[in-house]
Amino acid sequence: MAAFGAPSQPLPAGVDLRFPSPLGLGAKRAFDVAAALALLLLLSPLLAMVAMLVMRDGGPCVFGHTRVGVDGRKFKCLKFRSMVLNADAVLKELLATDPAARAEWEKDFKLRNDVRVTPLGRFIRRTSIDELPQLWNVVRGDMSLVGPRPVVEKELERYGDAAAYYLRVLPGITGPWQVSGRNETDYGTRVSLDVAYVRNWSFLGDIGILFKTIGVVLHGRGAY
């Protein structure tokens, strides 16, 4: 049951992890697949339009960034490309020449005023349209609709012993972090939210987060 988030190996001392029944986890997975497929079909015209707009600069419309999933399994987290084609080189130069940007990046692995983001990219980020390709990650079993946001390996170090909670569930397209301030929330609070989500998981709780996400997206809170 590891793909649904069930524990597959001993937990570190002091970590108390209570999982719902296999039936509940199976219901979560079934709902994920059915909802993701329905949304992909319903949103296909929007997805096609955004893909064409992103590709106007000659680059790919979707990119996959390596993230850590359940049980530490690596996967490509899909997004519509929101940055310039030479984004890695631009970031490297910025961090080498701008101490303030470097400090901000080292703190949260994000930049509020990211010079790599295109005008279209700012729009699809603010509206969370850039996240829609992750519906395919859900169908594939890499992600869930709701769960902790997927992190890169370096970020996982910040979780400490709490990483045991993160690694026992599928990461989500949305989750407690998104509906609690998103990028305006500090990293320690984000970790606490993820731990609380895993320890207190319920199917109705997931539904509540999905409805809250709609309001957050419409208001664009914490998105950049």
Q: Which amino acid is at 100?
A: A
- If one counts every other C-beta atom within 10 angstroms of the C-beta of residue 53, the result is 14
Q: Would you say 115 and 87 are in contact if contact means Cβ atoms under 8 Å apart?
A: no
Does residue 106 surpass a pLDDT of 80?
no
Mean pLDDT of 80-100: 87
23 Cβ contact list (under 8 Å, min separation 6): none
Residue-level pLDDT at 224: 47
Nearest to 158 by CA among 115, 114, 191: 191
Q: Nearest 5°: CA angle at 114, between 110 and 119?
A: 130
Q: Nearest 5°: CA angle at 110, between 224 and 119?
A: 40
pLDDT digits over 177-193, tens only? 989 877 677 888 889 99
Give residue 131's pLDDT band: very low, low, confident or very high (50, 70, 90). Answer: very high
pLDDT digits over 57-86, tens only? 889 999 999 999 999 999 999 999 998 888
